[in-house]
């Protein structure tokens, strides 16, 4: 599969004169497979999408639109090639430091992190609203079809969360571009600036969800913009379903 992908190099938005060379597979991704390649002396990342993207609730067409916007805004790697039908994405390889939970929790870093979120939420992308209720129920239906049995505890949690999902989805807040997966592994500090990887779950959603993610996954204290526990409940429930489906 990778060899076939590399042979698409004449279509890449790079000045290349020969076939790119595989260097190594990159670790860390939980959804797709990514490879570091040498393309005419330039390092690029070749991502092969997970074949179960639909089950995982990923809209690759929406992702492509978002990537164009956020790469132009300087908060994501440059995109050199994107073929949704083939399931391939080629982007710039960012040299820099991948953040850890300790970086999230460092008070000196938090203003940089908060500014990054502000930049994300300031973007305008012409896409439908992200539906958290529908997204969670998509996971539930996938689980119900594929699993021999769903844990009773999870069934009870779903009954509790359905009205909470409706309440969260119905909030009148202005929708903004949200990444929805701002975990330490998805942040890289390159040339003094923070950039985000893995935009496949991004969409026009509620900013509180992103703030809940960084509070839950990075141990970052709730900021003045993180109002209550509803977004945290929604995030933790959706993550629980995602982990079961994956």
Per-residue pLDDT of the chain (246 residues; tens, 9 = 90+): 788 888 888 889 888 888 999 999 987 666 788 999 999 889 999 999 887 878 888 999 999 999 999 999 999 999 999 998 888 999 999 999 999 989 988 888 888 999 999 999 999 899 999 999 999 999 999 988 876 778 889 999 999 999 999 999 998 778 999 999 999 989 999 888 899 999 999 999 999 999 999 988 877 765 545 555 899 999 999 999 998 887
Q: Residue 89: left if φ>0, alpha if ψ -120 to 50, beta else—which one?
A: beta
How far is Cα 137 from Cα 135, in angstroms, rounded to an integer? 6
Q: Tell which residue, 200, 164, 187, has the closest CA to residue 52.
A: 200
CATH topology of domain 97-245: Aminoglycoside 3'-phosphotransferase; Chain: A, domain 2 (3.90.1200)
Q: Where in the chain is the domain with CATH 3.30.200.20?
A: 2-92
pTM, 2 dp: 0.90
- The segment(s) of the chain belonging to CATH 3.90.1200.10 are 97-245
For the CA atoms of 98, 206, 136, 100, what is the dihedral angle to 10 degrees? 10
- What is the helix (H) or strand (E) element at residue 2, kind and residue range? helix 2-6
* Fold of the domain spanning 2-92: Phosphorylase Kinase; domain 1 (3.30.200)
Query: What pLDDT was estimated at residue 224?
Result: 47
For residue 68, count CB atoms less than 10 angstroms from its CB and return exposed for 0-12, middle for 13-18, buried for 19 or more.
Answer: middle
pLDDT at 29: 64
Question: What is the reported pLDDT for 78?
Answer: 94
Q: Which residues contact 205 (CB under 8 A, 6 or more apart)?
A: 129, 130, 132, 175, 176, 177, 178, 180
């Amino acid at each position: 599969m990778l060899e076939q992908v590399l042979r698409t190099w004449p279509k890449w938005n790079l000045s290349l004169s020969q076939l790119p060379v595989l260097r190594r597979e990159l670790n860390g991704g939980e959804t797709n497979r990514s490879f570091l390649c040498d393309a005419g002396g330039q390092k690029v990342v070749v991502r092969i999408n997970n074949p179960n993207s639909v089950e995982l609730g990923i809209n690759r067409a929406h992702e492509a639109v978002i990537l164009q916007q956020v790469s132009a805004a300087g908060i994501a790697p440059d995109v050199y090639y994107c073929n949704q039908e083939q399931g391939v994405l080629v982007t710039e390889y960012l040299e820099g430091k991948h953040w850890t939970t300790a970086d999230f929790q460092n008070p000196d870093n938090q203003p940089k992190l908060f500014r990054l979120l502000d930049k994300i939420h300031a973007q305008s992308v012409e896409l439908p609203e992200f539906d958290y209720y529908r997204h969670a129920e998509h996971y539930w239906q996938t689980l119900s079809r594929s699993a021999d049995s769903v844990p009773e505890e999870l069934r009870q949690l779903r009954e509790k969360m359905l009205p909470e999902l409706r309440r969260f989805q119905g909030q009148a807040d202005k929708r903004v571009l949200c990444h929805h997966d701002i975990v330490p592994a998805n942040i890289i500090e390159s040339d003094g600036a923070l950039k985000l990887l893995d935009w496949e779950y991004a969409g026009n959603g509620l900013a509180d969800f992103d703030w809940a993610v960084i509070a839950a996954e990075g141990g970052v204290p709730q900021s003045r913009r993180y109002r209550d526990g509803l977004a945290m409940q929604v995030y933790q429930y959706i993550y629980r379903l995602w982990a079961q489906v994956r």
